[in-house]
Amino acid sequence: MRSTFCLKALSVAIATFSVASAASAAGLDRSGQDITAFLQDGTYAETVYTYIDADVTGRDNAYIGTDDKAYNKGNKIGDIAEDYDFFRYGVKTDINDTFSVGILYDEPFGAAADYVGDNNFVAQGDLDNAINIISNGNATGLVDASNKIDRLSAGAQLQAEAAAKFAQQAQNATTPQQAAQLAAQAKAAQDQALELKGQAESLGAAVASAQVEKSTTGEGTNVEVRTENVTAILGAKLGTNKEFQIYGGPVAQQVQADVALRGVAYGLANGYTAHISSDQDFGWLAGVSYSKPEIALKAALTYRSEIEHNTNIGEQYPIVAALDGNPNQAGTIEITTPKSVNFDFQTGINPTTLATAKVRWVPWGDFAIVPPLYNEVSKRATGDDKGLALVSYDDDQWQVELGLAKRLTPALAVSGNIGWDSGAGNPVTSLGPIEGYYSAGLGAKYNVTDNWAISAGGKYLWFGDAEGQIPTKKVVSNFEDNDGYIVGVKLSYQAAQ
């Protein structure tokens, strides 16, 4: 029965799927953390190259006002998604009929976005327009802002003097009722003084941020995040027919990132720049699989732990200079890459056809990047003791992919798949404004020899529409009708033992 289902041919055919199927649009997910190389029979090795070209265009927000959810169609935003590629490697062998070992390399998480052109994510250098936008329309330009700041400051001073006068009179009051009335007047005047002072400081901060807009003319928002994983796996087969396998091992992960926020879309954070130094830390992987060779069935459930990084960060935040602070600071940051669960399944339908399913879950709702200086300034700006994260997501990611593989000749197999990715919420960060996708892909594999094979595949993606928001939850852009494609090629070696 085993030979009837041509398990080896079908299993290698299914490997075609992983050439171009593992590229997600939720959070920072990229590779899908595929481990199917370890689940192959005998000795197996693969080298996979994947290239991704996404077209992500939209419009900025032309609305000026205090309603953070309001949106008016603004200027066109050209393609912000930089093309990127990555490699994946895997090697696995059986020590004996019970134990197997393997090593996998991939680049699981990342981002690459770059804004250019005439929109709110690129510094245009128009000081008056920047003041108008950043102040939410409370000042039309530099002269107007300066006049209002002077009036507000003068009003705050007068109210502060009145508060002091009422407080003094309250101390000299002849009756408790008179003292209480004067104390209430003193408090009201003091509150008014603080409110006027806050309005003056807010306008002053808007002017300072607008001046950054002028000094950085032509610079655009961009972000790049890179991670690398090396996973060592030891598996042990159990059961009467060795149909069960438990496996696990350590994971070494390296992460680094660069972020530059430019343009009036980011308000007071205009001009912010951060460099997160490369850091390596460790996590772990564990899983269980089941196989039934008679029908070419394999199923595997894999858990990867979160990995906590503590690394150095350099931040430049121009607005801090206007707040009498140091705008260039070095510190440390904690970034915890998320845990994940993958389910891989395949079964033979007939002697030449294999059905497959993949399900992946990543809790992006628990993920955040919180640079210390950025967070400290946000506490002052929002009045919230927790402050804001630079990057965070509202929802967890679910990804589902279904496919078929068909052996046409002893040397040639083809495959096809359809997929769905839930995304990580909408609105979502302006540094990656996509809400999941639908996909369809095709692939082919050719056995060059009994052991060596080459595979190629491609996938087309229809991205979900999304509104981009900044950490304050203000909507700053809208992205619709976007798509992308993925192509990949794999060289693989397999030898039965």
What would the pLDDT profile of 113-123 be if each residue is shown by its tens digit?
899 999 999 99
Q: What angle do CA 267, 268, 270 make, to 5 degrees?
A: 75
Task: Give the Cα separation of 488 and 34 in Å (integer).
Answer: 14
Domain ranges across the chain: 7-118+224-495, 126-215
- What the block records as the tokens of 184 is 């209430």
**Cis peptide bond prior to 427, omega within 30° of 0:** yes
Pairing of strands 340-350, 328-337: unpaired
**The predicted structure's pLDDT at residue 16:** 43
Name every residue whose Cβ is closer than 8 Å to that of residue 224 and which is 6 or more positions away in sequence: 110, 111, 112, 257, 258
Task: Give the Cα separation of 284 and 312 in Å (integer).
Answer: 23
**The predicted structure's pLDDT at residue 260:** 94
pLDDT tens readout for residues 326-350? 999 999 999 999 999 999 999 999 8
C-alpha atoms less than 13 angstroms from C-alpha of 43 in its C-beta half-sphere: 7
Pairing of strands 428-429, 466-469: parallel
Amino acid at 266: Y
Distances (CA, A) of 449 to 46, 141, 410, 453: 15, 72, 11, 7
Amino acid at 171: Q
Q: Per-10-residue mean pLDDT for the chain, 497 residues long? A: 45 48 65 90 92 91 91 93 88 94 93 90 92 90 91 91 87 84 89 90 88 90 93 95 95 95 91 95 97 91 96 93 86 94 93 92 90 89 82 89 91 92 85 87 92 92 91 91 92 85
Task: Give the Cα separation of 66 and 474 in Å (integer).
Answer: 9
Instruction: Count CB atoms within 10 A of the CB of residue 112.
Output: 18
Q: Considering the domain 7-118+224-495 in this protein, what is its CATH number?
A: 2.40.160.60
Rg (CA), the chain: 29
Place of tokens 């062998």: 93
**The predicted structure's pLDDT at residue 381:** 75
Asked whether the beta carbons of 27 and 450 are under 8 A apart, the reply is no
Q: In what order do the strands lie in the sheet with 428-429?
A: 73-77, 58-61, 475-479, 466-469, 428-429
Place of tokens 């994946």: 88
Q: Within 124-275, where are the H helices?
A: 127-134, 142-171, 176-215
